[in-house]
Structure 1
């Protein structure tokens, strides 16, 4: 049912999903989504995953999972985290991967506003959990959702961080965000 709903919603709105790698990489990965300038990336990402019939989890403020609409957020894959407390998020997510397979959506900018550099939690989670990093983006000019370019766990273990970050930064150079003035293409 979700696949049909997503396919119909994407068709009606004129969006297309462009898979750039093995769809099976989406079963168990850290999915880096950028640029993050609007909440529409969340909606588009959910639709893409429903269309591809893949499991998805999203770390968000726990206020969203505790609110009146919290049951819906949790059903959509939301994992509420209290960001005012020190949490060992890397270990928490690593433990989740030991119990189940899913894509963990991470927006390394951490906000929809312009930032000077990305947060590196996605990298540390991927290394700790021994899962690949998969890149995803919504291009608002082309109306395409790109998903699937993968950086393997072997690459993560054997390549310098700067090399990996350069590859990721280059990947996003052709993407047009919803609000371009809120996107800093220099991610590190």
Structure 2
């Protein structure tokens, strides 16, 4: 099993006015209703462009939310490693993702509060299905899902709603798909359909 040390969530910071001003300068706004639970897993959709990263970071700083986020381990190299971690990043080695999810869930269960963000597509390329790791993590760590979005049509980064998984996977995925209707990524053609790969018979 993977082992790691997940950084403790920082106390809520003051919103950084310069980040909010910069977002407004480039025509973006944030719409972030307060978290409904101390432990929230933000799934961010769609993820179709490298532009999602700087917009997401600016929103993190502008809101003052102590959001941690999962990123591919290969970007945490050299001087960028410490910098990205200081910005809330947690490296994920996808070749050992299963063990990582189990260890991450165990760590989160021992925490009083955490806001964690991840892209269920797992890549900027269009895939036929979402990866199911976010469901496993939310169940195992008893986290509420925040349905976060980056909409280039309205230039808004926000959260559509918070939901607690029902245990009915099909119903939960249908509710998630309805919540994301109308959201447009930077490259709409690369947005993966909101569905999970059917189990092998």
TM-score (norm 2): 0.82
Instruction: Quote the residue 1:34 is aligned against.
Output: 45
Contact between 1:59 and 1:79, CA under 8 Å: does it hold in 2? yes
Contact between 1:27 and 1:55, CA under 8 Å: does it hold in 2? no
Distance change (3 Å), C-alpha of 1:38 and 1:94? same
Q: What RMSD, in angstroms, separates the aligned Cα atoms of the two structures?
A: 2.0
Shift of 1:25: 3.1
Distance 1:50 1:37 in 2: 22
Distance 1:88 1:180 in 2: 32
Instruction: Quote the residue 1:53 is aligned against.
Output: 64
Instruction: Quote the residue 2:73 is aligned against.
Output: 62
Distance 1:24 1:106 in 2: 16
Q: 2:25 aligns with which of 2, 8, 12?
A: 12
Distance 1:57 1:162 in 2: 28
Distance 1:185 1:6 in 2: 32
Contact between 1:55 and 1:101, CA under 8 Å: does it hold in 2? no
Moved more, 70-79 or 3-12: 3-12
Which structure 1 segments of 5+ residues have no match?
Answer: none
Distance 1:27 1:46 in 2: 21
Answer 1 or 2: which has greater helix percent: 1
1:93 aligns with 2:132: no
Shift of 1:52: 2.1
Instruction: Quote the residue 2:172 is aligned against.
Output: 164
Shift of 1:40: 1.7
Distance 2:107 2:48 in 1: 28
Distance change (3 Å), C-alpha of 1:166 and 1:126? same
Shift of 1:184: 3.0
